[in-house]
């Protein structure tokens, strides 16, 4: 049997494949704007297996699959994932019923295990290591805003977390320079850096502890929560460590003209970003969230072979 293609991190996609997914997403988005919902995946079934809460990832995948003529099944607590049977048995059985699994897990190893035993593709819908669909949608948004991305700079302010790791991989593949302002103890781990260098040796990555330095040449300034889901016990310590890393009007004033503000959402307003910035004219956070659906429709059509 042919081994299924899994998207667990952006190391699983080449630059050319990302471009292909973007072009399908662009086409589907333009059709959707005209009221056309091309049923490319009739009768196809997607399972959404979530260990953590979600608004954007869950609803954008569900709505997108419905637009494509397929069906989405949300499997929450009651499926007993991780409690009633082994991950291997769960994956082997679930993948007999569905065509694709989107999984949101605490540990990245769990999506790796699901993928190892599933007979259908597994897409990572966020793990502690990575959030590939978010980064793809964000790069797609930047493409809409700026056209060609190669040579532009993305500034990351804050935690070197799941979203940051996926953006780093995506920046490497699409030729963006990534400048990260991150406290030393929250930077990328050596193991991830090694993988990043191996997969995208061309990535221009600069790391600093000065947010002003980081945003100076940026076309986009991106931040995320200081405390991700599952890290709640560290919230106080993190608030202290990231206090200097807030994206506020004073920091945005240090950017180039035309720079945009990005956030994957949900935001902790008043911590990593102020209301003034996230609700201000430079903010593209709603466009990013909207593009989750369009991008993932492109990804599903590509991955399930319905769009050539």
Binding site residues, ligand NVA, CB under 6 A:
126, 161-163, 224-225, 228-229, 264
**DSSP codes of every residue in 168-212:** HHHHHHHT-EEEEE--GGGSPPHHHHHHHHHH-TT-EEEEES-HH
CB-CB neighbours of 286 under 10 Å: 10
56 makes contact with ligand CP (CB under 6 A): yes
Closest CA to 221 of 262, 251, 180, 269: 262
The verdict on whether 264 is a catalytic residue reads yes
Give the C-alpha separation, 150 to 22, whole Å.
Answer: 15
Work out how close the CB of 151 gets to ligand CP at its nearest, in angstroms, rounded to a whole number. Answer: 27
Work out how close the CB of 41 gets to ligand NVA at its nearest, in angstroms, rounded to a whole number. Answer: 25
Binding flags for ligand CP, 110-139, as an x/- string (CB under 6 A) = ----------------x-------x-----
Catalytic residue, from 56, 67, 133, 134: name it.
134
The verdict on whether 224 is a catalytic residue reads yes
- Give the torsion sign (CA, 229, 234, 235, 239): negative
CB-CB neighbours of 262 under 10 Å: 28
Distances (CA, A) of 152 to 5, 13, 132, 188, 192: 31, 21, 20, 21, 23
- Closest to ligand CP by CB, 119 vs 265, is 265
Catalytic residue, from 56, 165, 224, 255: name it.
224
- Closest to ligand NVA by CB, 73 vs 229, is 229
The verdict on whether 292 is a catalytic residue reads yes
Catalytic residue, from 44, 152, 292, 294: name it.
292
Q: For residue 87, how many C-alpha atoms fall within 13 Å in the half-sphere facing its CB?
A: 16
One residue of 30, 36, 55, 88 binding ligand CP per CB under 6 A: 55
Work out how close the CB of 59 gets to ligand CP at its nearest, in angstroms, rounded to a whole number. Answer: 8
- Closest to ligand CP by CB, 62 vs 99, is 62
Give catalytic residues, as residue numbers.
Answer: 104, 131, 134, 224, 264, 292
What residue ranges bind ligand CP (CB under 6 A)?
54-57, 126, 134, 264-266
């Amino acid at each position: 049997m042919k081994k299924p293609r899994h998207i667990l991190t952006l190391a699983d996609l080449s630059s050319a494949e990302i471009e292909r997914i973007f072009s399908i997403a662009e086409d589907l988005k333009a059709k959707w704007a005209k009221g056309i919902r091309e049923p490319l995946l009739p009768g196809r079934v997607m399972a959404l297996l979530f260990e953590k809460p979600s608004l954007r990832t869950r609803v954008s995948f569900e709505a997108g699959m419905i637009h494509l003529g397929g069906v989405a099944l949300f499997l929450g607590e009651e499926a007993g994932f991780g409690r009633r049977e082994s991950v291997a048995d769960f994956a082997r059985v679930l993948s007999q019923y569905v065509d694709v699994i989107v999984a949101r897990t605490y540990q990245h190893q769990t999506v790796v295990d699901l993928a190892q035993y599933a007979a259908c593709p597994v897409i990572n819908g966020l793990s502690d290591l990575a959030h590939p669909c978010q980064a793809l949608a964000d790069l797609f948004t930047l493409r809409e805003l700026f056209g060609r991305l190669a040579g532009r700079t993305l500034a990351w302010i804050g935690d070197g977390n799941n979203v940051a790791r996926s953006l780093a991989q995506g920046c490497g593949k699409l030729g963006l320079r990534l400048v990260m302002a991150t406290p030393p103890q929250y930077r990328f781990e050596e193991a991830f850096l090694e993988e990043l260098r191996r997969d995208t040796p061309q990535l221009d990555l600069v790391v600093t502890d000065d947010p002003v330095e980081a945003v100076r040449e940026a076309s986009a300034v991106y931040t995320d929560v200081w405390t991700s889901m599952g890290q709640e016990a560290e919230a106080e310590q993190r608030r202290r460590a990231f206090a200097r890393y807030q994206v506020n009007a004073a920091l945005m004033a240090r950017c180039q003209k035309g720079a945009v503000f990005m956030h994957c959402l949900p935001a902790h307003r008043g911590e990593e970003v102020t209301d003034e910035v996230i609700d201000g004219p430079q903010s593209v956070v709603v466009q990013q969230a909207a593009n989750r659906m369009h991008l993932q429709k492109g990804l599903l059509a590509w991955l399930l072979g319905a769009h050539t």
